[in-house]
Amino acid sequence: MTIVQPMTTARTGTAEPGYMTGFGNQFETEALPGALPVGHNSPQRCAYGLYAEQLSGSPFTAPRASNERSWLYRIRPTVAHWGAFQKIDAGLWRTAPCAEVEMPIQPLRWNPIPFPAEGVGFLQGIRTITTAGDAATQSGMATHVYLATRSMVDEVFYNADAEMLFVPQQGALRLATEFGVIDITPGEIAVIPRGVKFRAELPGGPVRGYLCENYGGAFTLPERGPIGANCLANPRDVLTPVAAYEDRDAPTRMVVKWGGTLWATELEASPLDVVAWHGNYAPYKYDLRRFSPVGPLLFDHADPSIFTVLTSPSETPGTANIDFVIFPDRWLVAENTFRPPWYHMNIMSEFMGLIYGQYDAKPQGFVPGGFSLHNCMLPHGPDMEAFEGASKAPLKPHKLEGTMAFMFETRFPQRVTRYAAELPERQAEYGAYGSKLQKHFNPGRRDA
Ligand SMILES: O=C(O)Cc1cc(O)ccc1O
Ligand SMILES: [Fe+2]
Task: Tell me the domains of the chain and their CATH numbers.
Answer: 19-288 (2.60.120.10), 294-431 (2.60.120.10)
Ligand 1 in reach of 339 Cβ (< 6 A) = no
Ligand 1 in reach of 144 Cβ (< 6 A) = no
Ligand 1: distance of its center to the CA of 203 in Å? 35
Asked if 175 and 181 count as a contact pair (C-beta separation under 8 A), the reply is yes
Ligand 1: distance of its center to the CA of 117 in Å? 35
Ligand 1 in reach of 378 Cβ (< 6 A) = no
Asked if 49 and 33 count as a contact pair (C-beta separation under 8 A), the reply is no
Q: What is the ipTM of this complex?
A: 0.99
Mean pLDDT of 273-296: 98
Q: What is the pLDDT of residue 5?
A: 45
Asked if 377 and 345 count as a contact pair (C-beta separation under 8 A), the reply is yes
Q: Is 350 annotated as a binding residue?
A: yes
Ligand 1 in reach of 74 Cβ (< 6 A) = no
Strands 308-312 and 398-400: unpaired
Judge if pTM exceeds 0.80: yes
Strands 207-214 and 274-279: unpaired
Ligand 1: distance of its center to the CA of 301 in Å? 10
User: Whole-angstrom Cα distance, residue 132 to residue 146?
Assistant: 18
pLDDT digits (tens, 9 = 90+) for 154-201: 999 999 999 999 999 999 999 999 999 999 999 999 999 999 999 999
User: Whole-angstrom Cα distance, residue 303 to residue 16?
Assistant: 34
Instruction: Mark whether 301 is an active-site residue.
Output: yes
pLDDT digits (tens, 9 = 90+) for 354-386: 999 999 999 999 999 999 999 999 999 999 999
Q: Candidates 326, 330, 344, 377: which one to mutate for ligand 1, based on the most atoms within 8 Å of Cβ? A: 344
Looking at every residue in the chain, the average pLDDT score rounds to: 95
Confidence bin at 16 (pLDDT 50/70/90): low
User: Whole-angstrom Cα distance, residue 443 to residue 367?
Assistant: 38
Catalytic-labelled residue, pool 144, 301, 374, 440: 301
Which atom of ligand 1 sits closest to the CA of residue 409? 12
% of the chain at pLDDT higher than 70:
96
Q: What is the pLDDT of residue 4?
A: 44
Q: Whose CA is nearest to atom 1 of ligand 1?
A: 381
- For the cut 50, the answer to whether the pLDDT of residue 8 exceeds it is no
User: Whole-angstrom Cα distance, residue 314 to residue 296?
Assistant: 28
Confidence bin at 17 (pLDDT 50/70/90): low
Q: Is 380 annotated as a binding residue?
A: yes
User: Whole-angstrom Cα distance, residue 156 to residue 227?
Assistant: 41
Strands 155-159 and 163-170: unpaired
What protein residues have CB closer than 5 angstroms to ion ligand 2? 350
DSSP state of 194: T
Residue 177 burial (CB < 10 Å; 0-12/13-18/19+)? buried
Beta carbons within 10 angstroms of residue 191's beta carbon? 24
Indicate which ligand has the atom closest to the C-alpha of 362: 1
- For the cut 70, the answer to whether the pLDDT of residue 399 exceeds it is yes
Ligand 1: distance of its center to the CA of 304 in Å? 6
Ligand 1 in reach of 361 Cβ (< 6 A) = yes
Which atom of ligand 1 sits closest to the CA of residue 361? 3
